[in-house]
């Protein structure tokens, strides 16, 4: 049983490493995407060797700005937790946009995309900062970092919850590290774009913070609750991504104007094609953007387009294929069939051929 479970875990880990990973992006890092593809590809033959790399090697591979690189090299586990945060954010972004025209493709399009204030850029800032908080708060509870441990919030009934098998995620450390890390790459300029980027990063941080829950466990004779231990637990990152995707869909477009009395630049909400004269302060939870997004239909500066994309005939082919239609491909696949349960714990199945239809945009 143990050997089988170990084999399954090893297989899952290998698949996770070898599957092409999207380029990730940490919010306020000189508007550059950070790729871990090179790091993973160089060590795909031995999945354990990635954890044996020196901190300096990992930090250099992430192409961090100087101040962030110093933080990366400081302390045990920080470098690999940054890799985990990057992977977490990039994979969730790809999942949330998998059925849309823009499917979180960055790669060679990243620099041009991130120079614009699109809704997609806003989501990237938010999901990347959320990934940092989530990864570092989790790493503390796993003992991966030497600068923090389990959460010990004073308001909880038992601050030594770990004695009963509970180790809270250290959200306080995750928030502190993320804010400091992003601040290290923040430019001194305070133009409207810089303010919006910073705002969107804070939205991602706030969503993680607002979705922390308290979990309690009772201890006592016959199930009584004579003693109770509690700890704080992060929501799944998939839930965080879903919330941020909803905010993306309801993002607020803003425009810049200059207050001639104070010569300070501010932003105002735009209503459709016309500009509202009323200056509105954006709510803390809104994602903000400046520029209308391109269609992402054809190959261009911001994406490879949707030609050749697989779509769902009953759901999104019309949207993804941009009205061009789709080709239908027939594929033979083997699946388990005619399964029989043999007492007590064995299942015998045959392998049958099935034909699948794949719809691909023209």
The CATH number for 333's domain is: 3.30.2460.20
CB 94 within 8 Å of CB 104: yes
Give the pLDDT confidence of 64-117 residue by residue, as tens digits.
Answer: 788 888 888 888 889 889 988 988 898 899 999 999 999 988 777 877 888 889
Q: Determine, yes or no, domain membership for 207.
A: yes
- Give yes or no: residues 290 and 312 share one domain: no
Average confidence (pLDDT) over 333-340: 89
CA neighbor of 287 nearest in space, from 249, 255, 256: 249
Quick one: how many helices (H) and strands (E) in the chain? 11, 9
- Total structural domains within the chain: 2
**Which residues, 6 or more positions from 129, have their beta carbon under 8 angstroms from its beta carbon?**
26, 27, 178, 182, 201, 202, 204, 205
- Give yes or no: residues 188 and 318 share one domain: no
Which pLDDT score, from 0 to 100, does residue 13 have? 31
- Give yes or no: residues 142 and 61 share one domain: yes
- Give yes or no: residues 289 and 323 share one domain: no
CB 139 within 8 Å of CB 84: yes
Residues facing 352 on adjacent strands: 335
Which pLDDT score, from 0 to 100, does residue 56 have? 76
Q: Determine, yes or no, domain membership for 275.
A: yes
Q: Determine, yes or no, domain membership for 252.
A: yes
pLDDT band at residue 241 using 50, 70 and 90 as cut-offs:
very high
Which pLDDT score, from 0 to 100, does residue 174 have? 93
Average confidence (pLDDT) over 2-12: 39
pLDDT band at residue 236 using 50, 70 and 90 as cut-offs:
very high
Q: Determine, yes or no, domain membership for 141.
A: yes
Q: Determine, yes or no, domain membership for 11.
A: no
pTM for this model (two decimals): 0.77
CA distance 91 to 127: 10
Give the pLDDT confidence of 129-150 residue by residue, as tens digits.
Answer: 999 999 999 999 888 898 888 8
Q: What is the mean pLDDT of the chain?
A: 76
CA distance 221 to 227: 10
- Give yes or no: residues 45 and 114 share one domain: yes
Which pLDDT score, from 0 to 100, does residue 68 have? 85
Q: Determine, yes or no, domain membership for 139.
A: yes
Which pLDDT score, from 0 to 100, does residue 3 have? 44
Residue environment code for 172-210, b if the CB has 16+ CB neighbours within 10 A, otherwise e: bbbbebbbebbebbbeeeeebbebbbbbbbbbbbbbbbe
Average confidence (pLDDT) over 287-304: 93
The pLDDT of residue 42 is above 90? no
Residue in the block written with tokens 């400091």? 180
Residue in the block written with tokens 């084999």? 7
- Give yes or no: residues 217 and 333 share one domain: no
The pLDDT of residue 63 is above 80? no
Tokens found for residue 227: 């003693």
Domain boundary among 276, 299, 322: 299
Residue 112 CB neighbour total at 10 angstroms: 12
pLDDT band at residue 308 using 50, 70 and 90 as cut-offs:
very high
3-state secondary structure of 30: coil
- Give yes or no: residues 91 and 28 share one domain: yes
- Please give the residue that has the higher pLDDT: either 241 or 75: 241
- Please give the residue that has the higher pLDDT: either 324 or 40: 324
- Give yes or no: residues 317 and 258 share one domain: no
- Give yes or no: residues 140 and 104 share one domain: yes
CA distance 201 to 178: 10
Give the pLDDT confidence of 186-214 residue by residue, as tens digits.
Answer: 655 567 888 888 889 999 999 999 999 88
Report the Cα 24 to chain-centroid distance in Å.
8
- Give yes or no: residues 321 and 243 share one domain: no
pLDDT band at residue 167 using 50, 70 and 90 as cut-offs:
confident
Q: Determine, yes or no, domain membership for 265.
A: yes
DSSP alpha helices (H): ranges in 37-109? Answer: 37-42, 55-61, 66-72, 78-96
- Please give the residue that has the higher pLDDT: either 255 or 29: 255
Q: Determine, yes or no, domain membership for 125.
A: yes
> Would you give the DSSP letter of residue 29?
S
Residue in the block written with tokens 């990039």? 90
Residue environment code for 2-37, b if the CB has 16+ CB neighbours within 10 A, otherwise e: eeeeeeeeeeeeeeeeeeebbbbbbbbbebebbbbe
Write out the residue range of the structural domain in which residue 137 sits.
18-299
- Give yes or no: residues 280 and 351 share one domain: no
Average confidence (pLDDT) over 354-361: 91
- Give yes or no: residues 292 and 330 share one domain: no
Average confidence (pLDDT) over 282-292: 85
CB 311 within 8 Å of CB 328: no
CB 11 within 8 Å of CB 74: no
């Amino acid at each position: 049983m143990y050997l089988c479970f170990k084999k399954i875990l090893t297989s899952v880990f290998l698949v996770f490493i070898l599957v092409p990973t999207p380029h990730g992006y940490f919010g306020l890092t000189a508007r550059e995407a950070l790729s871990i593809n090179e790091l993973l590809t160089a060590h795909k033959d031995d999945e354990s060797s990635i954890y044996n790399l020196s901190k300096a090697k990992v930090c250099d591979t992430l192409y961090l700005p100087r101040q962030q690189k110093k933080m990366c090299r400081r302390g045990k586990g920080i470098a690999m937790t940054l890799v985990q945060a990057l992977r977490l954010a990039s994979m969730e972004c790809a999942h949330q946009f998998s059925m849309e025209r823009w499917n979180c493709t960055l790669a060679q399009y990243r620099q041009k995309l991130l120079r614009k204030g699109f809704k997609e850029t806003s989501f990237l800032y938010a999901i990347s900062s959320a990934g940092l908080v989530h990864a570092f708060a989790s790493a503390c509870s796993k003992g991966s970092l030497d600068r923090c441990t389990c959460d010990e919030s004073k308001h909880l009934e038992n601050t030594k919850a770990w004695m009963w098998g509970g180790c809270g995620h250290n959200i306080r450390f995750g928030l502190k590290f993320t804010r400091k890390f992003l601040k290290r790459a923040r430019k001194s300029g305070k133009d409207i774009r810089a303010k919006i980027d910073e705002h969107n990063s804070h939205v991602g941080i706030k969503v993680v913070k607002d979705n922390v829950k308290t979990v309690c466990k009772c201890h006592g004779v016959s199930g009584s609750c004579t003693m109770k231990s509690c700890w704080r637990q992060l929501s799944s990152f998939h839930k965080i991504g879903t919330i941020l995707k909803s905010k993306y869909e309801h993002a607020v477009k803003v425009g810049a104007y200059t207050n001639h009395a104070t010569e300070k630049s501010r932003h105002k909400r735009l209503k459709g094609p016309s500009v509202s004269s009323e200056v509105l302060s954006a709510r803390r939870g809104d994602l903000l953007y400046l520029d209308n997004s391109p269609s992402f239909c054809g190959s261009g500066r911001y994406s490879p387009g949707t030609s050749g994309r697989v779509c769902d005939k009953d759901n999104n082919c019309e949207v993804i294929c941009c009205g061009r239609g789709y080709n239908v491909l027939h594929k033979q696949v083997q699946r388990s069939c005619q399964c029989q349960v043999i007492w007590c714990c064995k299942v015998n199945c045959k392998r049958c051929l099935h034909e699948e239809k794949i719809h691909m945009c023209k």
